[in-house]
Structure 1
């Protein structure tokens, strides 16, 4: 009776929380699973590097965690479809390429140079992150290549242009 909260306030808070999380359809898609893995591995690498003597490498996993978290949010809420000015697949491709290269380098350094266990764990999770990011940029590259092969040309226009070109050559 003297309750300050409205009876529907917990349901409203729950729906707000659910709107932040990715949808089930996106989370079960290939891109969703890769982004969730990238977020998780980047966070684990960040924590391991923060606890290790190789704390100089903590910046990159943190930045990659934040960028992957933003892209997970952007793709799951279709935020990327509202901003057509950005080349989202190309930006995602460049992010994955640079992340896989840098994770590979800092993982090699963390495992070979530092002797504490958390540095070794950060290196191992970095190698796993390297594989996930490399898989992601490989899949993005294949999608971009297929788009570029099909996107610029329609079959009717190319056949008409070829017919016109062959007619002008025969004259």
Structure 2
């Protein structure tokens, strides 16, 4: 009995891990690499702040970590595509902007105000996280600006419909 149940439990664990972890295609994409970098940097910053004298700032990297894990899960499982009325890129943009600004502020405070090494390390990782979050919101902004310039079109079909209707109006 133990031999029969062991492969099934191993297979079920593997299927759960495959459904939770991002696919290789997403993890190697630009958005996937940015999100994984944000998760890693915010977690490292969280650990450094928790071990430092600047422990009062531990909330920011923790919230950034949790929000980024949610967006990593949402994008990797295509959860964001199921809700058409909810603008995930705009919320992701706001997450990146606020995280970048707040990481920058607390990193300056951790490096300049606290003398211990873990506070300095937390500040350095916070500055790196600021750069990664800023890069992410810059790329999201360019995508949103391109989307708005197109008038909100998400594919080529509406432009073809407009071309067909313009031909019928000219007759």
Which TM class, normalised by the smaller chain length?
0.7 to 0.9
1:133 correspondence with 2:110 = no
Structure 2 residue aligned with 1:147? 147
Instruction: Establish whether residue 26 from structure 1 lines up as the match of residue 26 from structure 2.
Output: yes
Q: Secondary structure at the match of 1:95?
A: helix
Q: Report how far residue 85 of structure 1 moved.
A: 2.2
1:77 shift after superposition? 0.3
Matches of 1:52 and 1:116, distance apart in 2:
7
> Using the alignment, how far apart are the partners of 1:44 and 1:80 within structure 2?
27
**Pair 1:35-2:35 in alignment:** yes
- Identify the residue that residue 156 of structure 2 maps to in structure 1: none
TM-score by length of 2: 0.87
CA distances 1:19-74 after superposition (whole Å, capped 9, x unpaired): 11000110000000000000000000000000000000000100000000000000
* Superposition deviation, residue 8 in structure 1: 2.4
Unaligned runs of 5+ in 1: 165-171
- Counterpart position of 2:8: 8
Structure 1 SS opposite 2:53: coil
Query: Aligned equivalents of 1:80 and 1:110: distance in 2?
Result: 35
Question: Offset at 1:150?
Answer: 1.2
Count matched residues: 162
Query: Runs of at least 4 residues of structure 1 off by over 6 A?
Result: none
| Matching residue of 1:90 | 90
Distance (whole Å) between structure 1 residues aligned to residue 80 and residue 2 of structure 2: 45
Match of 1:78 in 2: 78
Cα drift, residue 2 of structure 1: 5.2
Q: TM-score when scaled to structure 1?
A: 0.87
